[in-house]
Amino acid sequence: AQSVSQHNHHVILSEAASLELGCNYSYGGTVNLFWYVQYPGQHLQLLLKYFSGDPLVKGIKGFEAEFIKSKFSFNLRKPSVQWSDTAEYFCALYSGGYQKVTFGIGTKLQVIP
Amino acid sequence: ETGVTQTPRHLVMGMTNKKSLKCEQHLGHNAMYWYKQSAKKPLELMFVYNFKEQTENNSVPSRFSPECPNSSHLFLHLHTLQPEDSALYLCASSQDLGAGPRGEAFFGQGTRLTVV
């Protein structure tokens, strides 16, 4: 089976603070990894994705994530958050073996002005 | 706007009602999905259709009945639901079920369902 764990369920930061959201997965084969964001009242949007190649991927709005295969991790980072980053963030995994996307439980980020 | 449109946006129904959720995508994708998003739970994959054929039913109760008449439209027929079925139901599509960019999912805004 494949699974995704997000360890921080609710994070509160002040503006300009640095952000790191943890994501670990379990699957032994080749994976595609995603971070989705859901702003209040809006649909899920793709923030960034990893398919292959450079393990450090850059997404929209200054977000980046690093795939560390040995740690089965794909943590999301942003050096300086803004109030507009307040949203829920979901890590997701796709494997060719199971041919489906599995999501983590999500992390609610609240940025205080 | 993602190219995936869901209607209605909100739905309140009694336990004896029958209703349907609709999803439409204009992206030329071949795979479509229903997900259930409940508070404090991971997104749950319910059904997967690829080229109009159901490829996955994730042990979903029979009171949820999907229908995919063509690659652009996906329905979720609801009958005799329970209060615990109240959730946000999300539709998504992807080019197909392949790995890599083809498997990237685009989501609709969801239908907020309340069962009373």
Interface test with B, best of A100, A102, A105, A108 (most B CBs within 10 A): A100
Interchain contact, A43 vs B56, CB within 8 Å: no
Interface test with A, best of B43, B45, B49 (most A CBs within 10 A): B43
- Cβ-based neighbours of B102, under 8 Å, separated by 6 or more: B94, B95, B96
pLDDT 10s digits, B47-82: 999 888 888 888 899 999 999 999 899 999 999 999
**What average pLDDT is seen over chain A?**
91
Categorize the per-residue pLDDT at B1 as very low, low, confident or very high, splitting at 50, 70 and 90: low
Interchain contact, A99 vs B109, CB within 8 Å: no
CA dihedral B6→B8→B13→B16, nearest 10 degrees, is: -60
Interchain contact, A96 vs B99, CB within 8 Å: yes
The average pLDDT across A12-16 equals: 97
Look at residue A44 and tell me whether its pLDDT is greater than 60: yes
Contact B83, B66 (CB under 8 A): no
Look at residue A62 and tell me whether its pLDDT is greater than 80: yes
The predicted structure's pLDDT at residue B102: 66
Chain A neighbors of B91, CB-CB under 8 A: none
Contact B64, B76 (CB under 8 A): yes
The predicted structure's pLDDT at residue A94: 85
Report how far residue B88's alpha carbon sits from residue A40's, in angstroms, rounded to the nearest whole number: 13
**Residue A51 touches partner B, C-beta closer than 8 Å:** yes
The average pLDDT across A57-76 equals: 95
The predicted structure's pLDDT at residue B100: 60
The average pLDDT across A85-108 equals: 88
Query: What residue of A is the nearest CA neighbor of B42?
Result: A105
Query: What angle is formed at CA B48 by the lines to CA B45 and CA B50, rounded to 5 degrees?
Result: 155
3-state DSSP assignment of residue B32? strand
DSSP 8-state secondary structure symbol assigned to residue A61: G
Look at residue B99 and tell me whether its pLDDT is greater than 70: no
**Residue B107 touches partner A, C-beta closer than 8 Å:** yes
**What average pLDDT is seen over chain B?**
90
Taking CA atoms, B86 is separated from A2, A49, B11, B15, B111, in Å, by 26, 30, 10, 11, 10
